[in-house]
Each structure stands twice: as C-alpha cells, then as structure tokens.
Amino acid sequence: MSTTDRLAVLKTYKLFINGAFPRTESGRTLLVEDKKGNPLAHLCHASRKDLRNSVVAARKAAPGWAKRSAYNRTQILYRMAEMLEGKSEEFAAAIASTVPGGKSRASKEVAAAVDRLVAFAGWADKFGQVLGCNNPVAAPFYNFTIAEPMGVVCVVAPAEEPLLGLISLLAPVICAGNTAVVVGSTEHPLATAILGEVCATSDVPAGVINLLTGLRPELLEVMAGHRDVDGISAAGCAKAERTTLELGAAENLKRVTVDSSKGKDWYDLQKMNSPYRIQPFVEMKTIWHPSGA
C-alpha cells in the first residue's frame, strides 16, 4: 500500500474529570466530521453518570480552591492563558474544521479566548473590592459585605464561538473561587476536548475544572435536578433547554444564569470583561465588627 493510500490514525479525545482523562463509563463515542463530511476524531460521549462523577470531583475540590489566595487564582488563570496561547494553532485548526468562517475567523476566536482568561486573571484579586463594600451603620460597628464563592457551578457552552463562549462563561466562575463542571458545545466539541490538555498543564488543581463532551438534551435535566450543584451558567439555550434548567432549579433553589449573547457579543470587551459577570456566582456575606468607638 502506498503512503497516499494510508488511512490517518484519528485521535480519540477523552473526558477531563478530577485532573485525569477517563473514558466515559458508558463506552460510547461521538464521531466528529469536518465541513466536508470527512472523519476528524472520536470523542467520548459523556453519560449522566459521568456528569454525576464530575460533580463529586468538583465538590471535593471546592473547599481547597475557595481557600486559595486570590493572587494564586490569578497565577493559575494566567497560566491557563499561557498554555492556551501555546496551543493556539491547534485550537484554530480544530475550530476551523467544523465552524464556518475559516482559519482567520477561528484564530481571532482563539486570541479573544486567551485575552478573556488574562482579563479574569486580573480580576481574581480585585473583584472583591468592586462587588463588596463597607456599609454605613448608625452604631459603633464596622459593617462589611464581602463576596464568597458559591461552590459547584455547571457551565453549558454555546454552539456559536465554541471556545470563546466556553471561556467567557467559565472564567468568571473559577475566578470567584468556584469549581466547574462544563458541558461543551454539542455541535462543535473539539475545543472543549482540547481544553482539557490546557487544564492538565496549567497548575489547575484536580476537580476544579471538569470537561464533558456529549449531547446537551441528555445532560441538562440531570444537571438541573442535581442537588449538589449550586449554580448553572449557560448560553445558546433553546427555549425548551432554558425551561428544563429553570424548572430543575425551582425544585432545589440553585441559581441559574442564562446568557443571551450571540456572535459578535462574545467579543464585546466592555460587557464580557466586566467584573459584574462574576456577581451571579458569589454569595454576599455581611460581617459586623466593633469599631472600638
């Protein structure tokens, strides 16, 4: 057989859970094809049990991540940006293979995703001063309101801008000290799969970021009803998907934030780099202290 007849060895991407790359417990895979219908790769088809395992890992990691200094979270987010920058060509090629717009558009998306991580690396040790406050009280006390992480937050990435949309939802969540379970874009999942390799080389503690590739309709109901999930950050949801998330949250009072951003919205620096995108994923704690007056 000549080299021109040789079949390429397709890469099989695994899940990223608890700092490791397990195969899905279901044994199922998803074939990813390029825009011409040629096979590109195989991905793990995450199951409901994979999602539950991810929540367990995220819950275990939550106390340690929340106790890390804000400056250390800054360092780790910046390291993620460094590693993403180093794999920018790989990300751009993977995105361009399935997303309309070609390599130039994909490179722009990757660069914006790197910059978004840098922006929230910068906010990690500063957002508390923006969201918190020193409250005036008519008594001999100091009264402070400070932002604390919620705990475990599920992130549902949009189909549009599959890497930039994912990073734009994920960065505020982990910047605040939460841990995350991410369900990547069903239509364009390669960016989610490759992001696991970034996390594995970025000093991200095991369980802080967990990445699943699979079918959203299969996972959203379990996510919404899971009682150990404290919040959900989603984008690109159809009306039925949004209803599923909100009805599930109504049963157990988790906080659901559905972002309506589309297309060029993800590149809006004033909106997307704002510290107020962190606010839905923190709990405000008020502290009273005698002033000594």
Q: Which of 3.10.129.10, 3.10.20.310, 3.30.365.10, 3.40.605.10 is the CATH number of 47-290?
A: 3.40.605.10
Q: How far is C-alpha 136 from the geometric centre of its chain's CA atoms?
A: 37
**What is the rounded average pLDDT of the residues 120-124?**
96
Residues of the chain with pLDDT > 90: what percent? 77
| 286, pLDDT greater than 90 | no
The answer to whether the CB of 233 falls within 8 A of the CB of 220 is no
Residue 250 neighbours by CB distance under 10 Å: 11
What mean pLDDT comes out for the span 38-44? 92
Six token digits for residue 175: 């910047």
Q: What is the mean pLDDT of the chain?
A: 92
* Three-state SS annotation for 65-134: HHHCCHHHHHHHHHHHHHHHHHCHHHHHHHHHHHCCCHHHHHHHHHHHHHHHHHHHHHHCCCHHHHHCEE
pLDDT at 134 over 90: no
Q: Span 157-173, mean pLDDT? A: 96
Identify the pLDDT of residue 293. Answer: 58
For residue 84, pLDDT over 80 is answered with: yes
pLDDT in tens, 167-223: 999 999 999 999 999 999 999 999 999 999 999 999 999 999 999 999 998 999 999
Query: How far from the centroid of its chain's Cα atoms is residue 242's Cα?
Result: 18
Report the alpha-carbon distance of residue 77 to residue 55 in Å, rounded: 21
CA–CA distance, 254 with 55 (Å, rounded to integer):
14
Q: Does residue 16 carry a pLDDT above 60?
A: yes
The region that residue 67 occupies, defined by phi over 0 for left and psi between -120 and 50 for alpha, beta otherwise, is alpha
pTM score of the predicted model: 0.92
| pLDDT in the model for residue 4 | 65
> Confidence class of residue 131 from pLDDT cuts 50, 70 and 90?
confident
Is the confidence at residue 3, as pLDDT, over 70?
A: no
